[in-house]
DNA sequence: GTTTTTTTATTGACAGCGGAAAAGATCCGA
DNA sequence: TCGGATCTTTTCCGCTGTCAATAAAAAAAC
């Protein structure tokens, strides 16, 4: 699973140790006994898994004295020492690069971004390298080593081989990005699709903690979706999955750039909304914020556009839920700014289209600021570092 | 995972042994070396896993001498002894019960069915028991013990607890079927959703062999779908998944019994087609076969209905493929009789709606006769018997 | 104030799984 | 007949996680 060119990470963890570590990462400080219960490992196994990790400093004891149950020997809380290692996460978009320095608990310590001057690998790679160097210098101030670099890119990415197969925004094909960035920065590099990376972060540290089946839907310039099934992120046999933006919802709907009609993205993504609000109000809008202002100002045409978009998103989520039956769906993305306008449409359409018990699925929203994508990249680096690529949680 | 009331199965298999057995079950006779390569186990591990299974008679050596590579020590083929054990699979529909006696390779030996007189558990259970008894008597003729019973039922089924949570056709709620059938027949019982059971069979013995991500779509009285992701059948957090029949494809489409508009099932399932053909031709049809005859006879109205249905199915499959990116989709079900009428619509709609590399997905048809559903139930029994409930294939 | 109960943590012994390496088996070709 | 190739088995060994017993620490009971 890990690319062959990965530098040395933690002295290879046994499966149990990896499980214990990941459990502690997601579920805050826990007593050893509690870890044992959750992972279905024996208490002895937990003790033995914890010790070496503690000697290496990745785990620490007694974070804060909890209100413990009144009786019995008091428990010692174990938790991950967030400051023990640093990771860099980089998100590459069509016109800028965002990078964050994150600690072992994937909390953002420093955040940077630069505009892109070109989209060819020859332009992007130096930009990434420069930004990483900046963060490496910042990292010196923390007195801890940076142990990995994660890069998130939209498109078809082969994480196992560190290869960007095809990225429409950047117009890249078969770029061995992990190797290139690895030699340029000297760090172990993990490359993954951006939505999948964000999903990993959400699965470990966000609203997906403890769930083995959940989905993350991002609404904004495009509409994307990351899926976790059986406790693992879905990649698809051909490297592409979660293309919720191109579910076809209406054979008579607007034409989508993919050539089909009635895609969610052709109804509810920013450009589509912009176009529809322009048409409805007769103005020439150029920025999604203008459309949003119009709608918030009460313009009925604009509001109707947002209502339609919300309905499309709701129906798309219902499709997803009908197929996979996840426990929870998280809606996020820049489009969340318009959530008050979407909300009713999403709720009603979801309720109407979700079938049977699928409607019990918890649909929630969660604002994920733009650094969050880079944080997702850092999370993939942590995954690789800890060798928990194939981590699967017990119920 | 296995229900607590399960009787003794094979002396608990080690994970490696389970993996080896399952590999041999799916991929015919193989040499030990080849098994080792496929499972990424060492040759030594394979030998050690094979021996006890061979002593128990579940595996046999030297099925038929293959054309071996010219050089080196000749290989000994190992294969599963199909005749070493028998299993019974039962499929319960709204108005009949189908049961098969299957061998260890899940090949059907005897097949029976009876009409149901009532739908309450008090009527269905004795019918199942009687049919199982018949097959148990048949089994005596083979001189081998029946080692398990699988029951497949549509609806929300909790396999781990042997519980039918809710079955709309039978109007059952929370029936502990595994326990009931277990005490009535004296066999270890596995209960699962019917489409999931069929998917298991297809995954192990059919068109899904060797694939870790594939989907099975059944077209007929209803439209259902079983999913395999990460090498395991998807059950959904709330027990329901694969409800492809209720993907909403057209907000102005026909009303579905679920209350929504434009569901695939409201366009392409037998009752919907019957209704639409009746309306198009002005006749009062009562049997899907009549509609089919009309279309095959060239009636343009009827043909248009089938074309629309095919288009709906194609778009639904595209949705599925866009979301999950499986390697293959198998279309089956009684509806396959009309496949020549569907085909073009499915192909065109799929090609139009599938996004990017997702369109590389292999969409194929495969006739699965009605006993196949019962065979799926038998496959779940074999799974439980061999403890490979959580089997996951290596790439 | 001492003892009992209860829960957590640790230790050491232990079974067993699977890997590494080497030896054995059995063919082909020279 | 020997050497090479490939499959299979054996032997040995490290390592993992469980078991059972023990220590620790606090509250509760007496």
Structure tokens that stand for A321 in this block: 């839920």
Q: Is B171 left (phi over 0), alpha (psi -120 to 50) or beta?
A: left
DSSP B333: S
Angstrom distance (rounded) from CA B239 to CA B155:
9
Q: Which two tokens stand for residue A238?
A: 């051909």
- Which of B189, B116, B172 has the alpha carbon at shortest distance from B385? B189
**A324 Rama sector, left if φ>0, alpha if ψ -120 to 50, beta otherwise:** alpha
Residue A77 backbone class (left: φ over 0; alpha: ψ -120 to 50; beta: rest) = beta
**A263-300, pLDDT tens digit by residue?**
999 999 999 999 999 998 888 888 888 999 999 998 99
* pLDDT at position A395: 34
Q: Tell whether the model's pLDDT for residue A184 goes beyond 90.
A: yes
Q: In 10 A of CB A315, how many CB atoms?
A: 29
Average pLDDT value for chain B: 89
Torsion of CA B24, B25, B26, B29, to 10 degrees: 50
Min distance B297 CA to chain A CA atoms (Å): 29
DSSP lists the bridge partners of residue A218 as A224, A332
Q: Report which residue is nearest nucleotide C17 when distances run from CA to C1'.
A: B14
How does pLDDT run across A315-342, given as a tens digit for each residue?
Answer: 999 999 999 999 999 999 888 888 889 8
Residues B62-81 have pLDDT tens digits of 766 665 666 777 788 999 99
Residues 6+ apart with CB under 8 A from B188: B6, B7, B9, B147, B148, B149, B182, B381, B384, B385
Which pLDDT band holds residue A391 (cuts at 50, 70, 90)?
very low
Q: How many CA atoms lie within 13 A of A44 on its CB side?
A: 0
The predicted pLDDT at position A66 comes to 59
pLDDT range class, residue A11, cuts 50, 70, 90? low
Query: Exposed, middle or buried: residue A63 (CB in 10 Å: 0-12, 13-18, 19+)?
Result: middle
pLDDT greater than 80 at residue B32: yes
Q: Which nucleotides of C are covered by protein (CB under 7 A)?
A: 5-13, 16-22, 24-29
- In angstroms, how far is the first alpha carbon of chain A from the final one? 24
Integer-rounded Cα Rg, in Å, for chain B is 22
| B96 phi/psi in degrees, rounded to 5 | -155, 170
d(CA B40, C1' C18) / Å = 11
* Strand-strand pairing, A328-332 and A214-219: parallel
* Measured torsion, CA atoms of residues B42, B9, B23, B88, in degrees rounded to the nearest 10: 170
Q: Which residues pair with A56 in a beta bridge?
A: none
Instruction: Work out the burial of residue A55: count CB atoms within 10 Å of its CB; fewer than 13 is exposed, 13-18 middle, 19 or more buried.
Output: exposed
Residue A264 Cα, gap to closest chain B Cα (Å) = 11
Confidence of residue A165 (pLDDT cuts 50, 70, 90): very high
Decide: helix, strand or coil at residue A159. coil
Q: How far is the CA of A45 from the C1' of C14 (A)?
A: 14
Q: Whole-structure pTM over 0.85, yes or no?
A: yes
Q: Is A225 helix (H, G, I), strand (E, B) or coil?
A: strand
Please list the alpha-helical segments (H only) found in B258-370.
Answer: 265-268, 270-281, 288-296, 300-324, 339-353
The residue in chain B having the minimum alpha-carbon distance to the alpha carbon of residue A234 is B324
Condensed to tens digits (0 to 9), the pLDDT of residues B95-129 reads 899 999 999 999 999 999 999 999 999 999 999 99
Whether the predicted pLDDT of B4 surpasses 70: no
At a CB cut-off of 8 Å and minimum separation 6, what does B225 contact?
Answer: A323, B195, B215, B216, B217, B218, B242, B243, B244, B245, B320
Q: Cβ contact (<8 Å) for B230 and A230?
A: yes
Distance, angstroms, CA B45 to C1' D10?
A: 12
* pLDDT recorded at residue B63: 61
Q: Is the CB of A249 less than 8 angstroms away from the CB of B244?
A: no
What domains lie within chain B, and their CATH numbers? 15-82 (1.10.10.10), 84-200+372-386 (3.30.420.40), 209-365 (3.30.420.40)
| Residue A17: CB less than 7 A from any atom in strand D | yes
Phi, psi of A51 (to 5 degrees): -55, -55
Nearest to B250 among A241, A246, A250 (CB): A250
Give the burial class of B144: count Cβ atoms within 10 A of its Cβ; 0-12 exposed, 13-18 middle, 19 or more buried: middle
The CA distance from B297 to A345, in Å, is: 45
Residue B30, nucleotide of least CA–C1' distance: D7
Question: Above 80 in pLDDT, residue A251?
Answer: yes
CA of B75 to C1' of C24 (A): 14
> Is B75 within 7 A of strand C by CB distance?
no
**B357 interaction partners in chain A (CB closer than 8 Å):** 156, 166, 238-240
Higher pLDDT, A33 or B68: A33
Nearest-CA distance from A287 to chain B in Å? 27
B57 beta carbon to strand C: under 7 Å: no
What is the DSSP secondary-structure string of B6-71?
----SS---HHHHHHHHHHHHS-SEEHHHHHHHHT--HHHHHHHHHHHHHTTSEEE-SS-----SS
Residues of chain B with C-beta less than 8 angstroms from the C-beta of A160: none
**Does B165 contact strand D, using a CB cutoff of 7 Å?**
no
- What residue has its CA nearest to the C1' of C21? B44
DSSP result, B305-322: HHHHHHHHHHHHHHHHHH
User: Is strand D in 7 Å reach of the CB of B75?
Assistant: yes
Identify whether the C-beta of residue B324 lies closer than 8 Å to the C-beta of residue B229: yes
A395, closest residue in chain B (CA to CA): B237
How confident is the model over B246-303, as pLDDT tens digits? Answer: 999 998 999 998 888 999 999 999 999 999 999 988 888 888 889 999 999 989 999 9
| C-alpha span between A376 and A382 (Å, rounded) | 10
**Three-class DSSP category at B114:** strand
User: In a 10 Å sphere around its CB, with 0-12 CB exposed, 13-18 middle and 19+ buried, how is residue A304 labelled?
Assistant: middle
B325 to A235: CB separation less than 8 angstroms, yes or no? yes
For residue B77, which nucleotide's C1' is closest to its Cα?
D7
Provide the pLDDT for residue B68.
Answer: 62
Predicted pLDDT of residue A10: 56
- Decide if pLDDT at B387 tops 80: no
Q: Are B63 and B79 in contact (CB under 8 A)?
A: yes
Q: What is the DSSP letter of B243?
A: -
Quick: pLDDT tens for B141-187.
Answer: 999 999 999 999 998 999 989 999 999 889 999 999 999 999 999 99
Please give the pLDDT value at position B389.
58
Residue A323 near residue B241 (C-beta atoms within 8 A):
yes
Alpha carbon distances (Å) from A195 to A220, A295, B323: 12, 28, 13
């Amino acid at each position: 699973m890990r690319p062959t060119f990965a530098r040395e990470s933690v002295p290879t963890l046994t499966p149990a140790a990896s499980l214990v570590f990941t459990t502690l990462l997601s579920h805050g400080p826990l007593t050893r006994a509690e870890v044992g219960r959750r992972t279905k490992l024996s208490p002895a196994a937990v003790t033995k898994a914890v010790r070496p990790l503690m000697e290496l400093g990745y785990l620490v004891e007694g974070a804060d004295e909890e209100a413990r149950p009144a009786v019995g020997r008091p428990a010692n809380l174990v938790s991950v020492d967030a400051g023990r290692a640093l990771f860099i996460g980089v998100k590459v978009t069509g016109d800028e690069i965002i990078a964050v320095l994150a600690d072992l608990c994937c909390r953002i310590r420093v955040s940077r971004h630069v505009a892109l001057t070109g989209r060819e690998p020859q332009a992007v790679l130096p930009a990434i390298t420069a930004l990483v160097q900046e963060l490496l210098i910042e990292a010196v101030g923390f007195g801890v080593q940076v142990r990995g670099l994660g890069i998130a890119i939209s498109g078809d990415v082969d994480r196992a081989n560190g290869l960007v197969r095809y990225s429409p925004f950047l117009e890249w094909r078969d770029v061995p990005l992990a190797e290139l960035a690895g030699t340029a920065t000297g760090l172990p590099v993990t490359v993954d699709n951006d939505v999948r990376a964000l999903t990993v972060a959400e699965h470990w540290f966000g609203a997906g903690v403890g769930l083995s089946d959940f989905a993350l839907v991002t609404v904004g310039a495009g509409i994307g979706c990351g899926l976790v099934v059986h406790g693992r992120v879905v990649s698809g046999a051909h490297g592409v999955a979660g293309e919720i933006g191109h579910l076809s919802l209406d054979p008579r709907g607007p034409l989508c750039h993919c050539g089909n009609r009635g895609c969610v993205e052709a109804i509810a993504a920013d450009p589509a909304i912009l176009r529809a609000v322009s048409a409805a109000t007769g103005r020439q809008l150029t920025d999604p914020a203008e459309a949003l202002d119009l709608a918030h100002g009460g313009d009925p045409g604009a509001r109707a556009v947002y209502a339609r978009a919300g309905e499309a998103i709701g129906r798309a989520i219902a499709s997803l839920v009908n197929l996979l039956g996840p426990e929870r769906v998280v809606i996020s993305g820049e489009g969340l700014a318009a959530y008050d306008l979407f909300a009713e449409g999403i709720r009603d359409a979801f309720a109407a289209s979700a079938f049977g018990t699928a409607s019990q699925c918890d649909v929630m929203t969660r604002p994920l600021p733009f650094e969050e994508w880079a944080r997702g990249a850092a999370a993939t680096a942590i995954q690789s570092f800890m060798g928990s690529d194939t981590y699967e949680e017990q119920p």
